[in-house]
Structure 1
Amino acid sequence: MNRYDRQIRLTGFGNEKQELLRNAAILVVGAGGLGVPVLQYLTAMGAGRIGIAEEDTVSITNLQRQVLYSTADEGRPKLAAAVEKLQQLNPEVQFIPHNTFLNTSNALAIIAQYDVVIDCSDNFGTRYLINDACVILGKPFVSGSIYQYEGQVSVFNYNGSATYRCLFPEPGDAPDCNAIGVLGVLPGIVGSYQASEAVKVICGIGEPLANQLLTINILDNTHQVFSFQTDPNNQHITQLQETYGDQACDPVLMQFLTVKELSRWLEEGEDFQLIDVREKEEWDICRIDGALHIPMRRIDASIPGLSKETPVAVICHHGMRSKAVAEHLLKSGFQQVYNVTGGIHAWAVEIDDTMNVY
């Protein structure tokens, strides 16, 4: 029997709508509380291609609401764990992993690949970034948010409808669930609504929540729908802002460190990690005291033992391999990464003329 038999039987859905869903490309931003139910239901229902943008790892505190993950997944990248389990749920779906948070340097390129975006992020900066990118690219997006016992869902930029900025002209200041908590079932409810709205947009059924905001309070079981107007000024965005005021969505760029600055850091006892990515035979010729030797080919295996919050300075022979490693560390979530200009050769020339050179 057809995997999708029960929804194909629906009046007003049928094979035609199932085919629309099968041909759709959907981007889910975030694989956390809201993203998990969105991903589970769109996968089960047979969405053709699902992109997932996520860079976080599974925490034990996630498990009371992010039911895709298990205790054994603690510490694993959410992206890898999610794709592995979703593929088991429905091997017919193609998953496109984006091992990154959306930021101003990648949002347009990533979002351009998809028909619909589902915003499951947890910060205002990313929401405004998604809005602006979708307006520029002409993409509809489904927004969801949660706060303690309350949730909100809306559809923006759909067939000329209002944008996120029409409803929320300025960023708010609501704390996330890490600070104030959330009842485990709430993101499951709101995320299911988001998946439903995405299906309505893709398949052209029902009345999507365009120019409408659905609010849910699970303590008193109230559901309300508020209407709001389009502000035409918000529909003509032509470029992203340089910054969205949130570290999560502003790009982290590689910085450069001269050997003189490196010497000063070492002398003054700065708190940082100095990583030498040369091969062992090079390391044996010369090295800087206090450096951690991790050959370039072993960087991925060594990342779990490094601190992403502590600054990292990467050095090689002349600065080319270290530059590649520094860029890789940034993509892996390290916040402050420096490439030592000129490498250990520059150190021997400018700092320590007794050092062996090669």
Structure 2
Amino acid sequence: MAAGKRAEGSVLGGGGGGGESQESEAPGPLLPLSRLDIRRYSRQLVLPELGVSGQLRLSGSSVLVVGCGGLGCPVAQYLAAAGVGRLGLVDPDVVELDNLHRQVLHRESRLGTPKARSAASALGELNSRVRCVPYELALSPSNALQLVRDHDVVADCSDNVPTRYLVNDACVLAGKPLVSASALRLEGQLAVYNHRGGPCYRCLFPKPPPPETVTNCADGGVLGVVPGILGTLQALEVIKIASGMGATCHGSMLLFDALEGRFRHIKLRPRDPRCAVCGDHPTVTALQDYEEFCGSSATDKCRALHLLSGEERVSVEEYKRVLDSRAPHVLVDVRPPVEVDICRLPHALHVSLSKLEGGDEGSLKSLRQRIHEARQGAGDSAVLPLYVVCKLGNDSQKAVRILQGLSQNGLGPISVKDIRGGLMAWASKIDEEFPQY
């Protein structure tokens, strides 16, 4: 049922807390709370900081949740539970098995279902009084501004750099506060942008990082509870803004270290008057091509780098033919040890990329020994093929460059190529029994 519509007899609400007045931010007239509303929200209604007026603002507010994944699930869940009037749920992906350890709104029974629809279904069972609108699409320069304008607060729960810039710029152009969070491995951070004269995301990060330095959850992993903690805190900031209590994190960034169990705040720089989008003389006055701006795709899927030429790479099918022919060669697995523990090709030599980058002498000694053994069957003067593999074919490209530089360092005549798509391509195209992770 849409916010503001009441089926039961109404109970007039008045007075109460709710912090400083922000009636101008709530769309439409605020109708009284019903008897069932009072029963449902009773534990928060008695808080002086919220009260009836704050609850009425919540029920009259709308929030756009960008991403229904590890962050978006707890954000949407707590906003629906708190009684936010309308939730817009944006996500282009479907529910997959490896989502379920952290994306707690989804279920095994909804594998293959669009995430936005799955989330809306779960939220409808939690609170049928909240209107949940699923948008089964990717946020883009063509649709972002209108979607942002249609909501009072935006929660950025995405997991890629282009979408972060897109959401930020849309919020600045539409004049909407942005609550942004991120989580990776065992760490997370939270900030509120474009609120009460504070900075926007571009003020702090005017230029995107190089694509090869960016790691997301698909690449680097994440402990499921970490986005849960950050998403819950994100929901808290949204509720405080929508109810009139005011955000805590609009002048600082909250950092969370799960391993140490520690939170800390760092003060943010003030709004930059030279900012390209929110500055005194903005140069970004319309949404742009953010994938081109960032040099990466707007996806939380595993990214694909392109560091080598086609002649320096082989497909998994080509490598399978080399393996079947029993031609002398060396396969080097450059994944971290924790990934090798999950699965490996038994004939591969494990030398992690970090060891190669650090010039670890023990690892190089093992590599020289393996090359020497393989060269016995190839002939001492023959050029020995080295193939490099990792999970996805990204780190392996970096390793090829390093090994090419070492080719004159006691390794003898070698040719070095990486295997495109890595072990996950091997699993999908060559060996269906090989684990995917």
Give, as a single letter, the amino acid of the residue that structure 2 aligns with 1:233: R
8 A contact 2:92–2:137 mirrored in 1: yes
Bigger shift: residues 118-127 or 8-17: 8-17
For residue 235 of structure 2, what is the aligned residue in structure 1?
195
1:155-194 equivalence runs, <5 A: 155-172=192-209, 173-194=213-234
- Which of these residues, 82, 85, 93, is aligned with residue 48 of structure 1? 85
- Larger Cα-atom Rg: 2
| Alpha-carbon separation, structure 1, partners of 2:119 and 2:126 | 11
Q: CA deviation at 1:188?
A: 0.5
Listed one character per residue, the Cα deviations across residues 302-356 of structure 1 (whole Å, up to 9, x for unaligned) are: xxxxxxxxxxxxxxxxxxxxxxxxxxxxxxxxxxxxxxxxxxxxxxxxxxxxxxx
Q: CA RMSD in A?
A: 1.3
| Alpha-carbon separation, structure 1, partners of 2:134 and 2:103 | 18
8 A contact 2:116–2:136 mirrored in 1: yes
Listed one character per residue, the Cα deviations across residues 109-165 of structure 1 (whole Å, up to 9, x for unaligned) are: 111101100000000000000111111111111000012100000000002210001
- Which of these residues, 192, 214, 231, is aligned with residue 272 of structure 2? 231
| Alpha-carbon separation, structure 2, partners of 1:54 and 1:182 | 20
List gaps (5 residues or longer) in structure 1.
250-358
List gaps (5 residues or longer) in structure 2.
1-37, 300-437
For residue 247 of structure 1, what is the aligned residue in structure 2?
297
Listed one character per residue, the Cα deviations across residues 192-231 of structure 1 (whole Å, up to 9, x for unaligned) are: 0100001111122154211211000010112111112221
For residue 261 of structure 2, what is the aligned residue in structure 1?
221
Structure of higher RCO (CA pairs closer than 8 Å, 6+ residues apart)? 1
1:38-117 equivalence runs, <5 A: 38-117=75-154
Bigger shift: residues 126-135 or 220-229: 220-229
- Which of these residues, 64, 68, 86, is aligned with residue 27 of structure 1? 64
8 A contact 1:141–1:157 mirrored in 2: yes
| Alpha-carbon separation, structure 2, partners of 1:121 and 1:148 | 16
| Alpha-carbon separation, structure 2, partners of 1:207 and 1:22 | 18
- Which of these residues, 154, 165, 171, is aligned with residue 134 of structure 1? 171
Give, as a single letter, the amino acid of the residue that structure 1 aligns with 2:285: T
8 A contact 1:129–1:244 mirrored in 2: no
1:263-278 equivalence runs, <5 A: none
For residue 271 of structure 1, what is the aligned residue in structure 2?
none
| Alpha-carbon separation, structure 1, partners of 2:121 and 2:290 | 34
Deviation above 6 Å: which 4+ runs of structure 1? none
8 A contact 1:103–1:248 mirrored in 2: no
| Alpha-carbon separation, structure 1, partners of 2:149 and 2:245 | 24
| Alpha-carbon separation, structure 1, partners of 2:288 and 2:163 | 12
| Alpha-carbon separation, structure 2, partners of 1:98 and 1:76 | 13
Give, as a single letter, the amino acid of the residue that structure 1 aligns with 2:262: T
1:290-301 equivalence runs, <5 A: none
| Alpha-carbon separation, structure 2, partners of 1:242 and 1:55 | 18
| Alpha-carbon separation, structure 2, partners of 1:67 and 1:243 | 29
* TM-score normalised according to structure 2 size: 0.55
8 A contact 2:57–2:244 mirrored in 1: no
